[in-house]
């Protein structure tokens, strides 16, 4: 697609959607982000549906198949590729370092996030993220507030 003409909003919108990976990718990322933000605020599925009705994307939400929606909830198929080897082996030092960079980058933009929000964003199991957050906390790199499932993290 060519660069849009100035002042043509629809053409600019289409150009941006194309650059971001197409309509399905943008919608998927949008919903994944909504779910992550609502989870960080301890919202419910009902709250998600109410927001979709209020903001006009209810039909799109209702049109998702259950597998895609479940993937968004579980963090599978996240925007970023997992740095965990698919063969079940332990992560290398380089892979751990890359994961820590991704975690710190996310916390910089989203302070006081729960591990579930990070897991959803990075496409990794919450348990894996939790173990790495614990290591970062012990190193004095991140601070915590709350206990257990409600624990939130931010950069120091």
Residue 87 binned pLDDT confidence (cut-offs 50, 70, 90): low
* pLDDT beyond 80 at 102: yes
CATH of the domain at 142: 1.10.10.10
pLDDT > 70: percent of the chain: 81
How far is Cα 33 from Cα 13, in angstroms, rounded to an integer? 19
Domain that includes residue 97, residue range: 93-155
Is residue 44 one of the residues assigned to a domain? yes
- Is residue 144 a part of any domain in this protein? yes
Number of domain units in the chain: 2
Cβ neighbours, 10 Å, residue 21: 12
One domain, residues 69 and 97:
no
Give yes or no: residues 102 and 66 share one domain.
no
- pLDDT at residue 11, rounded to an integer: 81
- Are 60 and 105 found together in one domain? no
Whether residue 68 is found in the same domain as residue 29? yes
Which residues are CB-neighbours of 99 under 8 A, at least 6 positions away? 83, 84, 91, 122, 124, 132
More confidently predicted of 86 and 25: 25
Residue 129, helix vs strand vs coil: helix
pLDDT of 86 > 90? The answer is no
Residue that is last in its domain, among 74, 102, 128: 74
- Residue 152's pLDDT band (cuts 50, 70, 90): very high
Query: What tokens were used for 88?
Result: 């079940």
pLDDT surpasses 60 at 80: no
Residue 69 shares a structural domain with residue 99: no
Domain identity same for 70 and 32: yes
pLDDT over 50 (residue 91): yes
Q: 10-26, pLDDT tens digit by residue?
A: 887 888 877 777 777 77
- Residue that terminates a domain, selected from 24, 43, 74: 74
pLDDT of residue 81: 44
DSSP 86-100: TTSPPPPHHHHHHHH
In which order are the strands placed within the sheet that holds 142-145? 113-114, 152-155, 142-145
């Amino acid at each position: 697609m060519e660069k849009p003409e100035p002042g043509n909003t629809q053409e600019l919108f289409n150009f941006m959607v194309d650059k971001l990976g197409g309509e399905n990718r943008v919608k998927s990322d949008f919903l994944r982000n909504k779910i992550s933000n609502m989870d960080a605020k301890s919202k419910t599925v009902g709250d998600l549906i109410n927001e979709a009705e209020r903001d006009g994307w209810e039909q799109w939400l209702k049109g998702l198949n259950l597998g895609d929606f479940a993937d968004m909830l579980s963090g599978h198929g996240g925007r970023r590729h997992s740095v965990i080897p698919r063969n079940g082996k332990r992560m290398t030092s380089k892979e751990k370092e890359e994961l820590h960079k991704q975690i710190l980058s996310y916390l910089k933009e989203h302070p006081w996030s729960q591990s579930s929000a990070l897991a959803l964003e990075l496409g990794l199991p919450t348990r894996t993220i939790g173990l790495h957050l614990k290591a970062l906390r012990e190193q004095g790199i991140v601070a915590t507030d709350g206990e257990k499932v409600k624990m939130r993290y931010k950069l120091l």
